[in-house]
Structure 1
Amino acid sequence: MATAEMPDHDRATHMFEGTGTVIAIDITAGKIGLDHGPVPALKWPAMRMAFKVGDDIDLSQFKKGDQVQFTLHKVEKGAYPIVELCEASGLEVVPRLCAPDGDQMPMPNTSGN
């Protein structure tokens, strides 16, 4: 559901969804390694990458081999962090599958801390 704070068209300009398989988790560092499919909105091919995750994501809920869907948040500088992460039942992106219920979308801590 689009909100006044973040209509769907605004979300599309800075939130990018993809799917992948968990290949590594570093809870202490707040990072997850994914073997992800293409992310057409970013012109990314399928590849293996490590991503920083937002503070609101509990990595202890995931394990190697899990199929997941993720949402990346566009930032001015540096790597795009994952701000939404949930289990997925397949390789096709389901729009807003991981979006939280409620009026506001989570915004990442991009301070690098």
Structure 2
Amino acid sequence: MKTLTLLTASLFVVSLAACGQEAPAETGSAKMHMEMTGSDTMDHSAHDMPDQIMGHGTGIVKSRGSNGDFLTIDHGPIDGIGMGAMTMGFETMGSVDVSAFAEGDPVAFMVKKGRDNSYRITNICNTQVEGTDCLASMLDH
């Protein structure tokens, strides 16, 4: 009976592999799956964007992540990377601190494409507080 059970289990695993699916994880070695939430990065691999790594744009802050390292921005087209207008979330890069930004703040910002193909904020300013030309000083890169 043990041989029949082992043979059946082996055939099940082989049939899953043939279908391109993973076999169920063994107890104690569960595989983590990441699901998209409101504060996770977005996959833009399906967007038709040129392979540029830096860009800049303006928008309105829609929300800020609780750790102060993530902003959701309703932005216009982002020059330099060919991204159209949309609302999306951006993580920050390096020492960028977005904890002072709140919902409704008008911003100018720069982004850089990471190795994981997501865009992160490299510099940001509040255009209502720092003036509409605050982006100009950031463009001297």
TM over 0.5: yes
Give yes or no for contact 1:36–1:48 (8 Å, CA) kept in 2.
yes
Give yes or no for contact 2:93–2:120 (8 Å, CA) kept in 1.
yes
Gaps of 5+ in 2: 1-51
1:52 — aligned with what?
A: 91
TM-score of the superposed pair, with normalisation by structure 1: 0.63
State the structure with bigger RCO (CA 8 A, min sep 6), 1 or 2. Answer: 1
Give yes or no for contact 1:19–1:93 (8 Å, CA) kept in 2.
no
- Whichever residue aligns with residue 48 of structure 1, its letter is T
Residue 22 in structure 1 maps to residue 61 in structure 2? yes
Give yes or no for contact 1:69–1:87 (8 Å, CA) kept in 2.
yes
Superposition deviation, residue 29 in structure 1:
6.4
Size of the alignment, in residue pairs?
88
Distance (whole Å) between structure 2 residues aligned to residue 57 and residue 63 of structure 1: 15
Greater share of helix: 2
1:8 — aligned with what?
A: none
For the pair shown, the structure with the greater C-alpha radius of gyration is 2
Greater share of strand: 1
Superposition deviation, residue 93 in structure 1:
8.6
Match of 1:80 among 116, 119, 137: 119
Bigger Cα displacement from structure 2, 30-39 vs 82-91: 82-91
Gaps of 5+ in 1: 1-12, 100-104, 106-113
Distance (whole Å) between structure 2 residues aligned to residue 65 and residue 38 of structure 1: 18
Give yes or no for contact 2:109–2:135 (8 Å, CA) kept in 1.
no
1:33 — aligned with what?
A: 72
